[in-house]
Amino acid sequence: MRIDVLTLFPDMFTVPMNESMMWKARDRHILELYTHNIRDYALDKHHVVDDTPYGGGGGMVLKPDVVVRAIEDVKGVSKARVILLSPQGSVFNHAKAVELSQQDHFILVCGHYEGFDERIRQLAIDEEISIGDYVLTGGELAAMVVIDAVVRQIPGVLGAEGGADRDSHADGLLEGPHYTRPAEFRGLGVPEILTGGHHEAMTQWRREQAIRRTWQQRPELLRSAPLTESERYFLATLARESAEDCQERMM
Ligand code: 4HQ
């Protein structure tokens, strides 16, 4: 996979994109990542990239001539998708990460300041992504979030053991609890089922814990999670328990 990033702050990428899983992906030639400084595409003496907005209102807006020139130069004749990071985009999620992990090339555009001249979108952007409903100072951290989530979905990046298929969201559920040694810590033990060696019972227990945690933390995910009939029955039990708890607290 090849990813190109257009940014005013390429240095922000150097450490995060060269550690841990990201370094492995690059070292194993699974990922080529290039950053490009948008300022290099400002042709005037002072390399100006932004200007005041028409109609006033304060803040600065990225100039269309500079940013479109940068995108067109980086894209060249390739068919790479051009993605803008902004709070106005559609919200990034696991499905989007999987979809992008199947592309062989895409371009991320990061802005700073109030935003982008609208003609950048009209002329040079295929798609707009937000990493969540809050406002960042720039698109760089959002781009790194997207890159991390996408790259770990590419086969060969994580080892077979740490495969992304067991992650939260991979099966539409949150992950249940994990434990490691010691067997007792500050009076708290480890669920017996995990130390018993009954593999099938353990798998079912893990699945139920995932359903339980999803019910507690993110019940809306259960509307689309693929559950078996007996798992739906287990969920109905949890819902009944919650209703009873609620009743009790009202007494
Ligand atoms: N920004 N998801 C404003 C974001 C953001 C987000 C990036 C701040 C773009 C101009 N990006 N700049 N949320 O808040 O991606």
Is the pLDDT at 162 greater than 80? The verdict is no
Sequence-distant (6+) residues with CB within 8 A of 158 are: 21, 152, 164
User: How does DSSP assign 194-227, residue by residue?
Assistant: GTS--HHHHHHHHHHHHHHHHHHH-GGGGGTS--
* Cα 170 to averaged position of ligand 1 atoms, centre (Å): 25
pLDDT for the residue 161 = 74
Peptide linkage before 16 cis (omega within 30 of 0): no
pLDDT digits (tens, 9 = 90+) for 9-60: 999 999 999 999 999 999 999 999 999 999 999 999 999 999 999 999 999 9
SS3 93: coil
Distances (CA, A) of 109 to 16, 58, 75, 99, 202: 18, 23, 12, 18, 45
How many whole angstroms from 193 Cα to the centroid of ligand 1?
45
Is a pLDDT exceeding 80 seen at residue 245? yes
> Of 154, 147, 89, nearest to 116 (Cα)?
89
Give the mean pLDDT of the chain.
97
Report the alpha-carbon distance of residue 207 to residue 180 in Å, rounded: 18
- Two tokens, residue 220: 């809306």
pLDDT in tens, 210-226: 999 999 999 999 999 99
Q: What percent of the chain has pLDDT over 70?
A: 100
- For residue 113, pLDDT over 80 is answered with no
Q: What would the pLDDT profile of 172-231 be if each residue is shown by its tens digit?
A: 999 999 999 999 999 999 999 999 999 999 999 999 999 999 999 999 999 999 999 999
Report the residue among 83, 135, 148 best suited for mutation to probe ligand 1: largest number of ligand atoms under 8 A from its CB.
135
Segment 99-124 shows an average pLDDT of: 96
Residues with CB under 6 A from ligand 1: 85-87, 111, 115, 130-132, 134-136, 138-139, 142
Separation CA 123–CA 107 (nearest Å): 15
> Tokens 């130069």 identify what position?
73
